Chain A
Amino acid sequence: MLVFRPVTEQDLAAVHALAAQSPVGVTSLQGSRARLAERIRQSESALSGDIRFRGEERYLFVLEDSTSGELAGVAGIDASAGFGEPFYCFRNDTLSHSSASLGLANRVHVLTLCHDLSDASLLTAFYAGPGAGRAGTELLSLARLMFVACHPQRFADTVVSTMLGVTEADDVSPFWDSVGRVYFGIDYAEAERICGEHGRRALASQMPQQPIYVPLLSESAQLVMGEVGEEARVGYDILYGDGFEVEDYIDAFDGGPVLLGRVSALRSTAASRTWPVASGAPEAPEAGTEWLLANTGTATFRAVRARASLEAGMLRVGPAAMAALQLGEGAWVRALPCGEGQ
């Protein structure tokens, strides 16, 4: 059974291995081993604290195969997208240029570097390895949001997620080549490596504040603006299905879309409920329905995907899932029935 749980120091080597497999655009996984170790310490510290108000906390979780003990994925969420440094992205804007004397006017599409989303919470560090499968990938993605539902005081009302943009062979980003390369003269992969080590502010803060006139970008760059890269398609579909929406923002590096989700409107947070749990639910594949199940702990937070059935105000769950969730009879479980496609 795949179990979603907080990362621990003992996971460093496995997380480092997963990070090495992740696409180059997953900035938060591009740093050194030391950087990952620091990220794990930050998560452990955040989970052990009695947090009343969100701040600089950064949480990191892993997806573990409880049978083999191997990690199948990693995912994080930052309480504040822009706590230590602003959260940079481009906002799609329109400028009107007009000449009253000539009676002419034009509307021009521009990209404006902004920090609009700095106050939101941020989904980060998402990578599902081949062992996760579609179901595990959904668990890895949505269990973070069930953690948010369990601990709303730790997060903002809005959660954002930057999706990987379109890249070509050899990690070439058409958007970066038309924008970032103009400013910094380096490859996209090198830019991500620098940001992985030093944070996105390292380069984003040096991007000029003036609007970028979209008509001047290469045609290939314009085509990929706001488009999801193939490697992020599954993750995008999961979040979109949960209620995340595409608004006016794109990533400042690869032009991928930035998704926004209101916690009050997301299925995983607004439609999940807590029930007392009872052991003994059918675990046969044909019995009951599949749910995403999570305990309500912090450092002990666990989530699994398992069959369960709602009976007389209690959620009956199989013993394996009960054990994985570290729940006893009558404990509270947050549960979300898997919808279509989940």
Chain B
Amino acid sequence: MMQVRLAQGGDRGALIQLDGGRCAGFGRLGVEVHELSDWLGGPAGTGTAVLVLEDARQALCGYALLGTPAVAAHFRRGLCVRRVPFAGIERALPTLSLVNDLTGAGQLHALRVGGGVEPSAGAAQLLAACQTLASAEPDRFGRRLFATLPGVRDDSGDSLLWQALGRHFAVQGSDFMATDGALLAELLPQHTLFSGFLPEPARAALGEVGDAHLDAQEWLRAALWQESDYVDPFDGGPVLVLPSQGAGR
């Protein structure tokens, strides 16, 4: 029988081992050991929450990393209609607008399951626990959760959207992409951008999850996380949201 609990200081070694191993899902803890110690040792109600999944033998076999970024930056996909009736022109043009709409919402940064358990079952338990935790602490995690899944990359591992868009605006800051993405996004186009200016492969990648993370998308869908109009500003990966009761962020 699997169970989920908040991570504790003693989980540090197992978590780091799990983070470096081959687990299905998305995201990484991506932190130094001392930072992870801070998370695990911090008082309840503050900072980032790490939930761990234990198998029947109480061995760690998965984790979820939940937090509330100070700033969340995404492209919101929209439409702009242009009509020239007497010329027979009517076009619904896809647009991208850089927004911080999800600031204040809780973000599922990572969800990983391994260790021989059924991944989808383990993920379902972790996601249910995340939702329970977030519902219990709306001041900490906001009124909805979101997860940004990795987008499509080419054979050499480069993001198609980054190659078409981001590198023109933020290339000198690419090192910050993983850690300070929202800040790096300040260098991206601040005005609404028409997707038609991007090459077809990059357009097709908007809102598409990379093959390696399709299972995570299915787990989230199964847990009733919903597709949204938001995409990652750097690789175009989809953002799934879990609305809580009531509207708002």
Contact = CB atoms under 8 A, between A and B. Distances in A.
B146 to A, nearest CB: 22
B183 A99 contact: yes
Contact of A202 (B84, B93, B180, B193): B84
Contacts of A184: 82, 84, 89, 91
Pick from B82, B87, B192, B193 the residue with the most CB of A within 10 Å: B87
Interface string B146-178: 000000000000000000110011101100100
A97 B187 contact: yes
A198 B86 contact: yes
Contacts, number: 91
A241 B91 CA distance: 43
A213 B172 contact: no
Contacts of A206: 82-84, 89
A50 B83 CA distance: 40
A152 B165 CA distance: 49
Given A97-B190, A104-B187, A202-B87, A213 B168 contact: yes
Contact of B187 (A106, A185, A208, A213): A106
Interface range for B: 20 to 34
Interface residues of A, number: 29
A101 B183 contact: yes
Pick from B172, B176, B189 the residue with the most CB of A within 10 Å: B189
Contacts of A95: 190
Contact of A216 (B82, B84, B172, B197): B197
Contacts of B89: 184-186, 206
Contacts of B187: 97-99, 104-106
B192 A210 contact: yes
Nearest to A212: B197
B80 interface: yes
Interface in B75-122: 80, 82-84, 86-87, 89, 91, 93
Interface string B171-214: 01100100010011011111111101110000000000000000
Nearest to A214: B168
Contacts of A106: 169-170, 172, 187
A114 interface: no
A185 B90 CA distance: 9
Contacts of A211: 191
Pick from A99, A182, A215 the residue with the most CB of B within 10 Å: A99
Contacts of B197: 178, 182, 212-213, 216-217
Given A99-B183, A202-B87, A104 B192 contact: no
A213 B193 contact: yes
A312 interface: no
A208 B168 CA distance: 21
Contacts of B188: 97
Nearest to A95: B190
B154 to A, nearest CB: 19
A99 B170 CA distance: 10
A208 B87 CA distance: 18
A338 interface: no
A153 B76 CA distance: 52
Nearest to B202: A216
A194 B192 CA distance: 27
Given A104-B170, A202-B87, A213 B189 contact: yes
Interface string A210-235: 11110111000000000000000000
Given A97-B186, A102-B176, A213-B189, A203 B168 contact: no
B168 A215 contact: yes
A271 interface: no
Given A106-B170, A198-B86, A216-B168, A208 B176 contact: no
A97 B183 CA distance: 12
A183 interface: yes
Interface of B: 80, 82-84, 86-87, 89, 91, 93, 164-165, 168-170, 172-173, 176, 180, 183-184, 186-194, 196-198
Nearest first, the 4 closest Cβ-Cβ pairs linking A and B are A182-B196, A215-B168, A99-B186, A216-B197
Given A97-B187, A202-B86, 6 more contacts: A101-B186, A104-B184, A104-B187, A210-B194, A216-B168, A216-B197
5 contacts: A182-B196, A183-B196, A198-B87, A210-B191, A213-B189
Interface of A: 95, 97-99, 101-102, 104-106, 108, 178, 182-186, 194, 198, 202-203, 206, 208, 210-213, 215-217
